Homo-oligomer: A and B are copies of this chain.
Amino acid sequence: MKLASLKHPDATRGNATQGRDGRLVVVSNDLAWYADASHIAPTLQAALDDWDRLSIDLKNLSTDLEHEMIPMRRFHEHDAESPLPRAYQWADGSAYVNHVALVRQARAAEMPDSFWHDPLMYQGGSDGFLGPRDPIPLADEAWGCDMEGEVVVVTGDVPLGASRDEALAAILLVGLTNDVSLRNLIPGELGKGFGFFQSKPASAFSPVFVTPDALGDWWKDGKLHRKLMVDLNGQPLGRAEAGEDMTFDFGTLVAHAAKTRKLGAGTIVGSGTVSNRGPDGGPGKSVAEGGVGYSCLAEVRTIETIQGGKPVTPFLKKGDTVRIWAEDDKRHPIFGVIEQTVE
């Protein structure tokens, strides 16, 4: 089953609550059609709040849509909000430890060995996300705006102290994100010791979130086994395999988040920037050089720094366009496409 939230027409005409959360629709597997689902649950959050009961009706609707048995309309990704236009929790891990090690290496910061055993995770802002085709608002290019291509999952309720298996069972949806980061604000902010705040503005999510069962073999061992496609200004930047080099699977990440408190339904947990090592174990090559490339500019700049002493590739500037997606075997996007231009 694939779910999306359409931009709500009431958003500009007074019914502010519903407008803020979009309108829930079920989307066909090929992303060509949708059926309204608001008679089952007005919003995706409402569906997640009562998933055991409502997901049955949603799955029936999804089946009817695939069989073209119900009224359906063309699905346009431009009309979609992020599936959760705002959420009660956005917890982002750093599961591709390779990425962390590289970034630290470039700024000559030591990475403790514990990072290979104990997941790194930060509490992200979740009060408002960008739509998948919305521009990235950037007030100051000097902040060093970067994309981060990641895989995300959405959970139901997760009990306090959940095991990895309990956490895996609580994963209801899978999607992608562009976790926008302001790189030049990070060192100062992390130096203060309280983690990210100003350096992590609103993220955008893929137009469609997908249930794990609909992913078949692509969802295995708590990982998405597809390439994460990242383009910058029409050129391939990243083709990293999301199922490889992920040190902590999503079950481990969700269990980490639930160690000292239960998690509420609709919690989004991120993988951190998808990153593969090179075949020799070192930093991978760019796509132009025949490698799988990178899912963020910080990693490009890191490798430039390691190899040439300083970064060459600039951070995002006004007018730059980022595309993030994953494909099925016929090269159709699975989750739709995140496509954002910096403004």
* Residues in B whose Cβ lies below 8 Å from that of A191: 112
Number of copies of this chain in the oligomer?
2
Q: CB-CB contacts of A110-145 with B at 8 A, as 1s and 0s?
A: 001011001011111111100000000101000100
Q: CB-CB contacts of A232-264 with B at 8 A, as 1s and 0s?
A: 000000000000000000000000110111111
Nearest opposing residue in chain B for A261, CB measure: B201
Q: CB-CB contacts of A17-55 with B at 8 A, as 1s and 0s?
A: 100100000000000000000000000011001100100
* Residues in B whose Cβ lies below 8 Å from that of A128: 88, 261-264
Please measure, in the bound complex, the distance between the C-alpha atom of A103 and the C-alpha atom of B87, giving whole angstroms: 33
Interface size on A, residues (CB 8 A): 60
Contact yes or no, A121 B194, CB < 8 A:
yes
Contact yes or no, B197 A123, CB < 8 A:
yes
Contact yes or no, A194 B87, CB < 8 A:
no
The A interface is mostly helix, strand or loop, or mixed, namely loop
Please measure, in the bound complex, the distance between the C-alpha atom of A120 and the C-alpha atom of B198, giving whole angstroms: 11
Contact yes or no, A201 B125, CB < 8 A:
no
Which residue among A20, A112, A137, A257 has the maximum number of chain B CB atoms within 10 Å of its CB? A20
* Residues in B whose Cβ lies below 8 Å from that of A143: 260
Contact yes or no, B49 A16, CB < 8 A:
yes
Which residue among A17, A91, A115, A261 has the maximum number of chain B CB atoms within 10 Å of its CB? A261
Contact yes or no, A86 B199, CB < 8 A:
no
CB of A182 closer than 8 Å to a CB of B: yes
Least CB distance from A35 to B in Å reads 21
CB of A205 closer than 8 Å to a CB of B: no
Q: CB-CB contacts of A253-286 with B at 8 A, as 1s and 0s?
A: 0001101111111110000000000000000000
> Given B50, B112, B201, which contacts A17 in the complex, CB threshold below 8 Å?
B50
* Residues in B whose Cβ lies below 8 Å from that of A89: 125-127
Please measure, in the bound complex, the distance between the C-alpha atom of A190 and the C-alpha atom of B259, giving whole angstroms: 16
Please measure, in the bound complex, the distance between the C-alpha atom of A115 and the C-alpha atom of B115, giving whole angstroms: 28
Contact yes or no, B185 A127, CB < 8 A:
no
Contact yes or no, A122 B195, CB < 8 A:
yes
Contact yes or no, B124 A123, CB < 8 A:
yes
CB of A160 closer than 8 Å to a CB of B: yes
> Given B15, B50, B94, B200, which contacts A14 in the complex, CB threshold below 8 Å?
B50
> Given B15, B160, B194, B201, which contacts A195 in the complex, CB threshold below 8 Å?
B194
Nearest opposing residue in chain B for A192, CB measure: B120
Contact yes or no, B49 A17, CB < 8 A:
yes
* Residues in B whose Cβ lies below 8 Å from that of A266: 127
Knowing A120-B192, A120-B194, say if A139 contacts B127 (CB, 8 Å). Answer: no
Please measure, in the bound complex, the distance between the C-alpha atom of A316 and the C-alpha atom of B200, giving whole angstroms: 34
Contact yes or no, B46 A264, CB < 8 A:
no
CB of A193 closer than 8 Å to a CB of B: yes
Which 8 pairs from chain A and chain B are nearest by CB? A195-B195, A127-B264, A89-B127, A88-B127, A16-B50, A201-B261, A122-B194, A123-B123
- A-B contact list, 25 entries, CB within 8 Å: A15-B50, A16-B49, A17-B46, A20-B49, A20-B265, A86-B88, A86-B264, A88-B127, A89-B126, A94-B194, A112-B191, A118-B192, A122-B195, A122-B197, A123-B125, A123-B197, A123-B200, A125-B261, A127-B267, A128-B262, A185-B260, A193-B195, A195-B196, A197-B257, A198-B256
